Chains A and B, each alone.
Chain A
Amino acid sequence: MRPLINLDKCDGCGLCVAVCCSNILKMVDKNLVIVDGDGCDWCALCEAVCISGAIVCPLEIVLNS
């Protein structure tokens, strides 16, 4: 599982990279990339700081069975 990135919306500001405690987001040639998706702890801080909605951490919603 890894956050979803929409590069069309991303302006390359890098705020998500700066806020990610797991250091799994990187800017490579002004493009945002995920370097180690398994390291993501789904804190969703990247989603919170991104003003353009270019990165999201979708949640599965289930009933406790």
Chain B
Amino acid sequence: MLEPGLLRAIPYFSELSDEELNEVGQYFFEESYVRDEIIFLEGDEARNLYFVASGVVKTFKTSSDGKEQTIELARPGDVLNEVAVFDGGPNPTSAQAITPVRLYKIEKSKMLAIISQRPVIALEVLRLMAAKMRRLTELVEDLSFRPVVGRVAKILLEQARAPLVSRLSQREMAAMAGTAREMVSRSLKTLEDEGAIKMERNRVVILDPEALERRAA
């Protein structure tokens, strides 16, 4: 049973009255996870819907050769695994706590019953789902049509040769490349795997400027 005040902080339920929140709250449980603990695994059946109460959860996919790709970071108020809960398929990603995390959990069947009785929740679910779809569409665009690695390579070369500022954060590089910060961090990893750069503590050392130029072309 969850206090109405706690549930109200979750966007799905922000429009409900105290009475409705009381009713919905009885189906919720709270769960705690320690840092690094796995919350659910990609491919497993989704039995519950989770909301982040505190902390940060990383959702990620793992490739057949064991490489991990972060999809999103979920913060307080965010919902986890709604795709699997609503389409009835397996979890599309795994989820792991990257800080101590508290989650609110509700059984899938209970959640579906609540939604079918309250269109205002269904609208909010749709709105958040659409926002997520938009983010993921932009990600697909970045991955397929506008290779971010090349733009990051160009930024690194320009910055090393004629620095405009003394140092650049990944967030600043993301703004310069017109992409998400996560894409910059992914690009740096790719360039490091290719041997073009080396990441040192707070430095990026360019080992192979020609390789970066080819990437930037």
Chain A residues close to B by CB (< 8 Å):
1, 4, 13, 15, 18-19, 41-42, 44-45, 47-49, 51, 53, 56-64
Given contacts A59-B202, A61-B159, contact A47 B171 (CB under 8 A): yes
B202 near A57: Cβ-Cβ < 8 Å:
yes
Closest CB in chain A relative to B73 CB, distance in Å: 6
Determine the chain A residues whose CB is within 8 A of the CB of B159 once the complex forms: 61
The secondary structure that dominates the B interface is: mixed
**In the assembled complex, which residues on chain B have CB atoms less than 8 Å from the CB atom of A57?**
169-170, 202
A19 touches B160 (CB 8 A): no
CB-defined contacts of A15 to chain B, threshold 8 Å: 55-56, 75-76, 99
Q: Smallest CB-CB separation from A51: which chain B residue?
A: B75
Give the size category of B's interface with A.
20 to 34
Q: Is the CB of A58 within 8 A of B182?
A: no
Select the stretch in B20-28, B130-138, B142-150, B205-213 that faces chain A.
B205-213
- Lowest 5 CB-CB distances: which A-B pairs, in order? A58-B167, A18-B99, A56-B169, A61-B159, A58-B169
Inside 8 A of B198's CB, which chain A residues have their CB?
Answer: 64
Contact A1 B202 (CB under 8 A): yes
Determine the main DSSP class of A at the interface with B.
Answer: mixed
CB of A59 within 8 A of CB of B75, answer no
Give the residue of A19, A45, A59 whose beta carbon is less than 8 angstroms from that of B168: A59
Residues of B within 8 A of A60 (CB): 166-167, 202-204
Cα A63 to Cα B198 in complex, Å, equals: 10
Knowing that A57-B202, A58-B172 are A-B contacts, what are 18 other residue pairs whose CB atoms are under 8 Å apart, sorted by A's residue number?
Answer: A1-B202, A4-B169, A15-B56, A15-B99, A18-B100, A19-B98, A41-B201, A45-B98, A47-B169, A47-B170, A49-B73, A56-B171, A59-B167, A59-B203, A61-B206, A62-B203, A62-B204, A62-B206
For B100, give the chain A residue with the smallest CB separation: A18
Contact between chains at B160 and A49 (CB < 8 Å) = no
Which residues of chain B are near A51, meaning CB under 8 Å? 75
Q: Which residues of A contact B99 (CB under 8 A)?
A: 15, 18-19, 49
29 A-B pairs in the complex with CB atoms less than 8 angstroms apart: A4-B169, A13-B75, A15-B55, A15-B76, A18-B54, A18-B55, A18-B100, A19-B99, A44-B185, A47-B169, A49-B75, A49-B98, A56-B169, A56-B170, A57-B169, A58-B167, A58-B168, A59-B167, A60-B202, A61-B156, A61-B160, A61-B167, A62-B160, A62-B203, A63-B160, A63-B206, A63-B209, A64-B205, A64-B207
